[in-house]
Structure 1
Amino acid sequence: MAPCALTVDSLKVLALADHLGDAIARRAQCIQNEIETKPGSHPLDEGTEGLRDVIAAGITSRDGFPCNAEDIFLTDGSAPPIHMMMHLLIRDEKDGILCPIPSHSLYTSFMVLQGATLVPYYLDESRGWGVRMSDLKKQLDGARSKGVNVRGLVVINPGNPTGHVLVEENQRGIVEFCRKEGLVLLADEVYQENIYIADRKFKSFKKIARSMEFGEGDISLVSFHSVSNGYYGECGRRGGYMEVTGFNSEVKKQVYKVASLSSCSNISGQILMSLVMNPPTVEDESYTSYQAERNGILLTFSRCAEAMVCALNRLEGVTCCKAEGAIFVFPSVRLPKKAIAAAEEQNTEPDVFYALRLLENTGIVVVPGSVFGQL
């Protein structure tokens, strides 16, 4: 084997790698100290105390308002805590949840599973998929007039599947609406790092509520986050959390009981969630390389989103709002009358007909809009 020739630059790389290796070892030791147990051991049902402390500190840093580690429940991704809250809120078919349309099927599926009544509110495509407060009130009053006990409101920000980012005015309106109507606000914020336009910044609903000077008991709020999304996209790791605020002690006990049914979330996912909420800071050796990788991934997402929107808007009969965040765009497809007639002849919904024809002719798989509740 020929000897390896090391240039000055390669020596610098090796030195940096060795330096970062020491930093990684120190970070790993800190995590070991925080969990105070072996990764294969059984932690507390709500999650390891030290890791919840780290996540609470990260939320405090993000929002500028205190976060209590006792409000944090570590979970296997965001789906289990959403199911937990649906289980707690829904008693029978007379109970309902306000849910955005179009919406991730996770929420509608859980409502079906719990036997709840879906109370849809429709995002306004003409306003970049924003929430119309007048529609929220209309849907709530309509459901109540039919005897539905509406107990909560789901909001997804940044949006899935629409890729929108709510403006602060919209968020404030939603918070005030939930406070006034006595609704639990279920805030899905799993794409909070994915923001692609300069005039939009992610602000958690908890930050909005605290900035409106609402106290701990003024609004019941559950916030969800996950390691499956963002720039890291560790879908297989199954790490997440929910922050539960504004509930009295008796309700919190019931939340703990439901969480304890799963015994505990996996330790690897808990650790990764703590790392997501406590990334390298400017004082850390890995900060420069971390920022470069993170920004590179987000820039790639942004360019792909822009390219997709431009391509869709060039197609005949297709329009698409600008991608503001998350990893989705939701185009509007206007089918010609002949296509609609052909779908009717086959006793098929037009959007399903279009999706099947697209698959047959191009091999491209798309999901019909009706899957998300949009017609």
Structure 2
Amino acid sequence: MSQQAVNGVQSRGKVLTLDNMNPNVKQVYYAVPRSHSPTGGADREGAERVSHYFLHLFLKRYSAAQIFTDPCLNLPQGVKKPFTEVIKANIGDAHAMGQKPITFLRQVLALCSYPELLEDTKFPEDAKKRARRILEACGGHSIGAYSASQGIECIRQDVARYIEKRDGGISSNPDNIYLSTGASDAIVTMLKLLVCGEGRDRTGVMISIPQYPLYSAALADLGAVQINYYLDEDKCWGLDVAELKRSLNAARQHCNPRVLCIINPGNPTGQVQSRQCIEDVIRFAKEEHLFLMADEVYQDNVYAEGCEFHSFKKVLFEMGPEYSSTVEMASFHSTSKCYMGECGFRGGYMEIINMDPEVKAQLTKLVSVRLCPPVPGQALLDLVVNPPQPDEPSYATFMKERTAVLAALAEKAKITEQIFNTVPGITCNPVQGAMYTFPRITLPQKAIDKAKAEGQAPDMLYCMKLLEEEGICLVPGSGFGQREGTFHFRMTILPPTEKLKIVLQKISAFHLRFTQEFS
């Protein structure tokens, strides 16, 4: 049946169907039965690569030698600099910035990796119980075995229970849960299903500006059309449905908008959406016949008074069957952020809502080609969604560590906003959530002219100079998108509190110096 009806408005069938999904995915043939998998497919490590790329560009300025190609970076020998270390405040890598792992998570992972430790009396009984359960669900009782492509079944059951508890009892079906290699992998997989068409029929995907570069990179890779909608910096990076409509109507002149991506809490902007805003977005998606993708990987990172995380799924179902039975959605979560910060384990999940069963079969086939998500990452995810309970021996330590991490992040969010807002020429919105700040910087015209003469963005010139003079690595706002004529940088709030204060003071002093130099 045609997806177009009278006056060019799409018919009200599914947004994503077997007829209008990516035809290349339908051509994929995978002959291996899928209970305990194999085969390949490139693993995508997500948009932190973009930040690493900026770091690489910055660091090439130090020396002609290729000392700096490794983003894990040590200062080169023999090059005298006015600092003793480079502080990489450019990416959200908690453990690299000094955050300590949560004891319980690492105990269970150690037991899963080396089951002989199950005989060791130093490990608490609840950690051993979790490890035994996970190992029993693995082929050959080893986390070195492939799992089912969609993820280990008992872990998907635990994820479904976690979602139900988080959302106040709204049911979650484990069969709609797909475990993934971090959230990034699931996001790219979902986009791959959705992108199709040629010319003016090419799929358009709405993404927020500023945006997390995973989205722009994936859309470019897939040949989709990127549709920008701008967050309102003057309203704490708020999302306005009028802006969504403006963006959508403009895009309909040259592509077929089918997807709306939301990041909540926001990256790089750190805003937390109100419940009213989420309702408005869901109404808009239904009215405009859009597939909704809700990136919720920072759901535990909410700091500002009066702010609260509301999952898109919970709001969708509380809006009633008119919405909950029709709006197609995928939501994403990860073990890389929140209080865990376990980026390297590459654990995550996606839950799909209202997906056409034929498309779901294609999705399952597509993830089969990629083998399975890393099993240690799946094990870690299980502990995140099924943490120690009040009657278990590990509970007190777990809660103490979790609370301390989140309290420290809340304190650092406040300090960051306060210090930046004392500096003439820097304006910083409250960091309501996530783990970044995206301050606006006023740059002198001479600096803007110099950057243009050198063929680079003015905020790139600023960040390069900051790195060379202070050894602090940030990402220029131009890497995330920003309104024409405005300049920003993204900085993580992850460094330890005392080091963060030093970083903030150094940036503040540098900004005054930079302004003076180019005034």
1:186–1:222: 8 Å Cα contact kept in structure 2?
yes
Could you tell me which residue of structure 1 aligns to residue 183 of structure 2? 78
Taking the aligned partners of 1:353 and 1:258, their CA distance within structure 2 comes to 42
**What is the TM-score when the length of structure 1 is the normalising length?**
0.91
Aligned partner of 1:334 among 431, 439, 442: 442
1:20–1:285: 8 Å Cα contact kept in structure 2?
no
Secondary structure of the equivalent of 1:154? strand
> CA 1:200–1:19 in structure 2 vs 1: closer, same or farther (change >3 Å)?
farther
Question: Which string of whole-angstrom CA distances, capped at 9 and with x for unpartnered residues, describes residues 174-193 of structure 1?
Answer: 11111111111111100111
Could you tell me which residue of structure 1 aligns to residue 234 of structure 2? 126
Deviation at 1:246, TM superposition (A): 1.0
Taking the aligned partners of 1:337 and 1:30, their CA distance within structure 2 comes to 63
Q: How does 1:218-367 map to 2 (within 5 A)?
A: 218-367=326-475
Taking the aligned partners of 2:468 and 2:150, their CA distance within structure 1 comes to 48
Aligned partner of 2:246 among 138, 157, 173: 138
Aligned partner of 2:145 among 41, 46, 50: 41
Secondary structure of the equivalent of 1:145? coil
Is it true that 1:25 corresponds to 2:128 in the alignment? Answer: yes
Could you tell me which residue of structure 1 aligns to residue 158 of structure 2? 54
Q: How does 1:85-234 map to 2 (within 5 A)?
A: 85-92=190-197, 94-146=202-254, 148-214=255-321, 216-234=324-342
Q: Structure 2 unaligned segments of length 5 or more: list them.
A: 1-119, 484-519
- The one-letter code matched in structure 1 to 2:308 is K
2:150–2:178: 8 Å Cα contact kept in structure 1?
yes
Taking the aligned partners of 1:284 and 1:255, their CA distance within structure 2 comes to 38
Could you tell me which residue of structure 2 aligns to residue 13 of structure 1? none
- The one-letter code matched in structure 1 to 2:265 is P
Taking the aligned partners of 2:477 and 2:175, their CA distance within structure 1 comes to 40
Q: Structure 1 unaligned segments of length 5 or more: list them.
A: 1-16
**What is the TM-score when the length of structure 2 is the normalising length?**
0.67
Could you tell me which residue of structure 2 aligns to residue 7 of structure 1? none
> CA 1:329–1:106 in structure 2 vs 1: closer, same or farther (change >3 Å)?
same
Q: Which moved more, 1:163-172 or 1:334-343?
A: 334-343
Taking the aligned partners of 1:345 and 1:316, their CA distance within structure 2 comes to 26
Question: Which string of whole-angstrom CA distances, capped at 9 and with x for unpartnered residues, describes residues 70-104 of structure 1?
Answer: 00001111111111011111114621100000011
Taking the aligned partners of 1:20 and 1:324, their CA distance within structure 2 comes to 37
Could you tell me which residue of structure 1 aligns to residue 493 of structure 2? none
Q: Which moved more, 1:30-39 or 1:317-326?
A: 30-39
1:20–1:286: 8 Å Cα contact kept in structure 2?
no
Identity of aligned residues (%): 38
Secondary structure of the equivalent of 1:97? strand
Deviation at 1:278, TM superposition (A): 1.3
